[in-house]
Amino acid sequence: MPIYEYVCEACGEQFAKLQKMGAAEDETACPKCGSSEVKRRISGCSIGSGGKDPGGPACGSGGG
């Protein structure tokens, strides 16, 4: 499940929420004021390169 970032239109609170993929904004309420007037924010993502980590062996390499 992805983590979506939101900003509350009512109080300005910024928060993140773990939700099922494709969750609608109207299914989310602000944890601070309870308002359902929230907007999903565009956020960056983290993607691994799949290569070897300079600090150690790559996953699944067996360590040897």
pTM (2 d.p.): 0.61
**Structural domains counted in the chain:** 1
In this predicted structure, what is the pLDDT of residue 27? 85
Of residues 64 and 28, which shows the higher confidence score?
28
Question: In this model, does residue 63 exceed pLDDT 80?
Answer: no
In this predicted structure, what is the pLDDT of residue 44? 66
Q: Helices marked H in the chain — which ranges?
A: none
CATH classification at residue 13: 2.20.28
Question: In this model, does residue 53 exceed pLDDT 60?
Answer: no
Per-residue pLDDT of 11-23, as tens digits, reads: 999 999 988 887 8
To 5 degrees, how large is the angle CA 40–CA 32–CA 23? 30
In a domain, 48, yes or no: no
In a domain, 21, yes or no: yes
In a domain, 50, yes or no: no
In this predicted structure, what is the pLDDT of residue 26? 82
Burial 4-40, CB ≥16 within 10 A → b, else e: bebebeeeeeeeebebeeeeeeeebebeeeeeeebee
In a domain, 25, yes or no: yes
Q: Domain limits at 27? A: 3-40
